[in-house]
Structure 1
Amino acid sequence: MYSRKTLWLFLAILSLKVTITLASDPDPVQDFCIPNPTFASIKTPHHTILPCKNSTEATTDDFVFSGMKAAGNFSDIGLAVVSATPTNFPGLNTLGMSFTRADIEVGGINSPHFHPRATELVHVVQGKVYAGFVDSSNRVFDRMLERGEVMVFPRGLMHFLMNVGDEPATLFGSFNSQNPGMQKIPSAVFGSGIDEELLQKAFGLSSKQIGTMRRKFDPKQAR
């Protein structure tokens, strides 16, 4: 018979293993799963399940994505992003990964944000960027990245990028989830409808300042 202490240790390890397993994308049960456009997708709390079409109907085109040859449309912060997900790149479905191209104009930024379901690996292919992330003890890990350098942003930790060079910067990022999710900190704080009094106390801002920030980051108030 196992002692009570040994049993509790076993249960704790089993619980940790189950938690880690549930926190990741599910393992595929076939070589690939090209989404069938004739069937509706099934949404769960953490995944969108796209029914597969017959594997004999798959073609090479399903496994090739040509949408990253050029930059996307630039936003007012000097950022253009093109993402490859199962929605526009069918071959990625069920493989537990996604990809993105980010172009940043001189002085532009990718504002502080985080991905709740994925670790991100960023590769600088052109330019010079200031990049970093903040851990749960509020310690910042940052540096200037130049062409050819790679940096990893651990899952769920806030990170950021800024072009500090004299030419546009181009980066490619990969994620270990087909649906990493993203929350931009400014929009999450000022664009989500959090009570104004709480924001005033949390940030030491006046009602007028809160209003200014909400108009900037809340699309509903910008109308």
Structure 2
Amino acid sequence: MFIQKNLWLLLPIFSLNIAITLASDPDPLQDFCIPNPTFASIKTHHTFHTILPCKNTSQVTTNDFIFSNMKTSGNFSEIGLAVIPANPTNFPGLNTLGMSFARTDIEVGGINPPHFHPRATELIHVIQGKMYSGFVDSNNRVFARILEQGEVMVFPRGLVHFMMNVGDEDVTLFGSFNSQNPGLQKIPSAVFGSGIDEELLQKAFGLSSKQIGTMKRKLDPKQER
């Protein structure tokens, strides 16, 4: 009886440990795992890179742990946003290490629309420029202000966040994620570009069929650059 009673007391602790264990990418079982090119060449955008076989350590070179594609900005979209991601897809050295990285540039007046990462917390560091940035918690409370060069902000895992250039020069920032596959869900595209029934959208947002049609055409994935 005593043992049974104490087991119930320990259950919350066990549950917490399990939750912590599942809250991030699995720990690696070796120093590093550079994906074998034979298998990496057939991966798709949705491949979980942790299951790719490692190539022989004797074939690993220093270049596997260096990423040189963030020296300049990427191509800007029509909303003034350019993002260069670094993950095991293009940076093999990150495989199994539970992290990824990105360079983001935002033109004057440009935005990074509301979005979230279902599998990672994001930490950003502003290198240049001035931007309005923040996130919304599960009680719909907004935590936002203008960030300037040198400042750092964190976006908790799974919470909607956003950015807008409010300065007179391009914004450059670097973001790190505590997952090698953080995921990305863009709110505008998820709502108006995913095929949700139009009647539901009309009732949810109080928009006319014409307005919803305009949003759908604007957010058609085939037209994204």
Normalised to the residue count of structure 2, the TM-score between the two structures is 0.92
Distance, in Å, in 2 between the alignment partners of 1:44 and 1:14 is: 32
2:153 maps to what in 1?
A: 151
CA contact (8 A) 1:41 1:49 kept: no
- Separation (CA, whole Å) in 2 of partners of 1:42 and 1:216: 27
> Could you tell me how far 1:198 is from its partner in structure 2?
1.1
Checking the alignment, whether the CA contact within 8 Å between 1:42 and 1:49 is kept in structure 2 is: no
Q: CA deviation at 1:17?
A: 2.2
Letter of the structure 2 residue corresponding to residue 18 of structure 1: I
Amino acid at match of 2:19: T
State the 1:44 CA deviation: 8.9
Instruction: Give the match for residue 211 of structure 2.
Output: 209
TM-superposed deviation, 1:196: 1.0
**Is 1:169 equivalent to 2:178 in the alignment?**
no
Task: Spell out, residue by residue over 1:19-71, the C-alpha distance to the aligned partner (whole angstroms, 9 max, x if none).
Answer: 33223211000000001011255999976522110111110000010000000
Q: Is the 8 A contact 2:49 2:95 kept in 1?
A: no
Partner of 1:120: 122
2:85 pairs with 1:86: no
The CA deviation at 1:207 is 1.1
- Describe the shift of the 1:88–1:47 C-alpha distance in structure 2 as closer, same or farther (beyond 3 A): closer
Q: Which moved more, 1:3-12 or 1:20-29?
A: 3-12
1:199 aligned partner: 201
1:74-126 alpha-carbon deviations (Å, 9 max, x no partner): 00000001011111111111000000000100000000000000000000000
Give the aligned partner of residue 54 of structure 1.
Answer: 56
Is 1:7 equivalent to 2:7 in the alignment? yes
Corresponding position of 1:36? 36
Whole-angstrom distance in 1 between the partners of 2:25 and 2:44: 15
Partner SS, residue 176 of structure 2: strand
C-alpha deviation, 1:5, in angstroms: 5.2
Aligned-partner residue type, residue 136 of structure 1? S
> Following the alignment from structure 2 to structure 1, what is the Cα–Cα distance between the partners of residues 44 and 161?
31
Give, in angstroms, the shift of residue 199 of structure 1.
Answer: 0.8
Structure 1 unpaired stretches of 5+ = none
Change in Cα spacing, 1:221 to 1:42, as seen in structure 2 (3 Å) is: closer
Q: What corresponds to 2:191 in structure 1?
A: 189
8 Å Cα contact 1:41-1:48 kept in structure 2: no
Give the secondary structure class of the aligned counterpart of 1:75: coil
CA distance in 2, matches of 1:219, 1:100: 22
> Given the superposition, is the C-alpha separation of residues 48 and 189 from structure 1 closer, same or farther in structure 2, using an over 3 Å criterion?
farther
TM-score (norm. length: structure 1): 0.93
Residues 112 and 185 in structure 1, CA contact (< 8 A), matched pair in contact too: yes
Relative to 1, partners in 2 of residues 1:45 and 1:68: Cα closer, same or farther, differing over 3 Å? closer
CA 1:204–1:41: 2 relative to 1, 3 Å: same
Matched AA of 2:74:
G
- Shift in CA distance, 4/203, structure 1 to aligned 2, threshold 3 Å: farther
In 2, distance between residues paired with 1:21 and 1:221? 40
Change (3 A) 1:60 1:176: same
Structure 2 unaligned residues grouped into runs of 5+: none
Aligned in 2, Cα 1:8/1:195: closer, same or farther, shift over 3 Å? farther
